[in-house]
Amino acid sequence: MFAPVGEQPHCMPGNAVLPDHHGMIITRGLQELACLWPQDLPFAPVARLLGWQAQSEAVLSDTSIRTLVRTHGQIIRQAEQEEASFLLAHADLATLQPQLVPPTQPRRRAGWPVDLSAAVEQALQDGLADPPAGVSRADWERVLHVRRQEAALPVETLRQLGPEVQPEQTLVTMDEVLTRAVGKRHFWEIRTARVSTPVGTRYVSGTGPALLRQLLVLLLLCAVRWPAVLIVADGARWIRTWFGELLAALPASTLILDWWHLCKRCRELGSMACRGRKAKAALLRPIYRHLWQGDVAAAVALLEAYRPEAKNLDRLEEWITYLRERAPYIPNYRERRRTCQYIGSGAVEKVNDVLVARRQKGQGMRWQESTSDALAALRTLMLNGGWDRYWQHHEVLPLVAT
């Protein structure tokens, strides 16, 4: 950093060759630290840490750090939008390859507690379907399904009991995170997504149509090699609307309503529609049972029959409408879980956590939209492996591999 001393005029060798400035030039390295540390720490501690690093308490104020974060966030967002617009106008995306982050950790083979091995072997021998004590039926079905396959599959190809991206599949998990604004009951919406393929992943974040445009381009690039596009989301209106438009370009795409969000919304509406906790629990049990098997019609029929007992008919009607509008996106969760396919929700929530929530959802935090989005842009850049490229070569990580 260069600055005048006191009230004296500038006297720096080579000042004429420097860019226009107003008494202070912040080096690229100092700007990098000012954008790196705020991803995990509040701005005031970052200002103190920079002062200790430079051995000068007033090297940068927390306001200056916020300005730097917003400036570089805007640079990243502008470059992303320009590239997405250019690629959408490109004549042949099939000749291009997406820029993805290769997986770094191998997945573990299928496994379960050692003391359950005897119970598994006995169940396979006797053809029993009931789980032992302490094991849910859904987990038990999945364990037996994987165990039956071991005889036919080489041991080295077995994976953990959770789902896995298939050879021709592109998996998309997307959601939105609300960060609190300065005004009362005022929030900013930061949208997030994670695209996973058999060879790597890519994070995407942004606000409004900008994220959707960038995500569309990325999926068009990925679908050339992995055409079975599966989207797991919470079923928000903006996601369903975007998915309807996506089908025109990628008709093999599938949208699945995340099971955790489905249950959460049913609990919320049940609390408002039912008379007390016991009544809600009694209604939710059969509702969950039908939805777990993808039988939306049966769940809606139960709600229709519940009208005479409802405390709030408007909320009950909202519940029925919620299920009917999302019926095309509610699969047979039981069968998908048994066969180790994706139903949500861990991947969805993890993306929100690593990109936005971990830093911006602290108690009492208030944000400007530009700062909130800029922090998400910088975090996304780092998780995609483009941090060094940006600070060393002044290039934003592109969607297309070079």
Q: What is the DSSP string of 238-277?
A: HHHHHHHHHHHH-TT-EEEE-HHHHHHHHHHHHHHHSSSH
Q: What percent of the chain has pLDDT over 90?
A: 62
Residue 137 has pLDDT above 80, yes or no: no
In this prediction, residue 20 has a pLDDT band, given cuts at 50, 70 and 90, of: low
Question: Which residues, 6 or more positions from 263, have their beta carbon under 8 angstroms from its beta carbon?
Answer: 288
In a domain, 380, yes or no: no
- Tell me the angle at which helices 277-292 and 296-305 cross, rounded to the nearest 10 degrees: 160
Number of domains composing the chain: 2
Q: Are 397 and 384 in contact (CB under 8 A)?
A: yes
Q: Are 379 and 360 in contact (CB under 8 A)?
A: no
In a domain, 39, yes or no: no
DSSP result, 331-369: --HHHHHHTT----SHHHHHHHIIIIIHHH--TT--B-H
> pLDDT at position 157, please?
46
Residue 264 sits in which domain range? Answer: 260-334
Question: What pairs with residue 25 in β-bridges?
Answer: 2
In this prediction, residue 141 has a pLDDT band, given cuts at 50, 70 and 90, of: confident
Q: Which of 317, 334, 351 marks a domain boundary?
A: 334
In a domain, 356, yes or no: no
Residue 155 has pLDDT above 80, yes or no: no
Q: Please state which of the ranges 28-42, 73-87, 102-116, 184-198 shows the lowest mean pLDDT.
A: 102-116
Q: Please state which of the ranges 51-65, 167-181, 221-235, 370-384 shows the lowest mean pLDDT.
A: 51-65
Mean pLDDT for all residues in the chain: 85
Cα-Cα-Cα-Cα torsion 82, 87, 90, 92, nearest 10 degrees, comes to: 170
Question: What pairs with residue 254 in β-bridges?
Answer: 230
In a domain, 244, yes or no: no
Q: Are 39 and 29 in contact (CB under 8 A)?
A: no
In a domain, 250, yes or no: no
Q: Which of 157, 188, 221 marks a domain boundary?
A: 157
Which has more pLDDT, 58 or 93?
93
Residue 144 has pLDDT above 80, yes or no: no
Residue 248: HSE in the Cβ half-sphere, 13 Å Cα cutoff: 5
Q: What percent of the chain has pLDDT over 70?
A: 84
Residue 5 has pLDDT above 90, yes or no: no
Q: Tell me the three-class secondary structure of 119-134, residue by residue.
A: HHHHHHHHCCCCCCCC
Q: Which residue is associated with the tokens 């970052």?
A: 46
Which has more pLDDT, 349 or 222?
222
Question: Which residues, 6 or more positions from 292, have their beta carbon under 8 angstroms from its beta carbon?
Answer: 333, 334
> pLDDT at position 119, please?
72
Residue 228 has pLDDT above 90, yes or no: yes
In a domain, 288, yes or no: yes
Q: Please state which of the ranges 131-135, 149-153, 225-229 shows the lowest mean pLDDT.
A: 149-153
Q: Are 339 and 141 in contact (CB under 8 A)?
A: no
Q: Are 397 and 390 in contact (CB under 8 A)?
A: yes
Q: Are 177 and 192 in contact (CB under 8 A)?
A: yes
Q: Is 27 exposed, middle or buried (0-12, 13-18, 19+ CB in 10 A)?
A: exposed
Which has more pLDDT, 362 or 11?
362
In this prediction, residue 156 has a pLDDT band, given cuts at 50, 70 and 90, of: very low
In whole angstroms, what is the distance from residue 245 CA to residue 207 CA? 18
In a domain, 304, yes or no: yes
> pLDDT at position 173, please?
93
In a domain, 102, yes or no: no
Q: Which of 122, 138, 157 marks a domain boundary?
A: 157
Residue 284 has pLDDT above 80, yes or no: yes
Q: Please state which of the ranges 49-58, 99-108, 113-122, 152-161 shows the lowest mean pLDDT.
A: 152-161
> pLDDT at position 91, please?
65
Q: Please state which of the ranges 110-114, 184-188, 249-253, 286-290 shows the lowest mean pLDDT.
A: 110-114
pLDDT digits (tens, 9 = 90+) for 251-280: 999 999 999 999 999 999 999 999 999 999
pLDDT digits (tens, 9 = 90+) for 177-208: 999 998 788 999 999 999 999 999 999 999 98
> pLDDT at position 213, please?
94
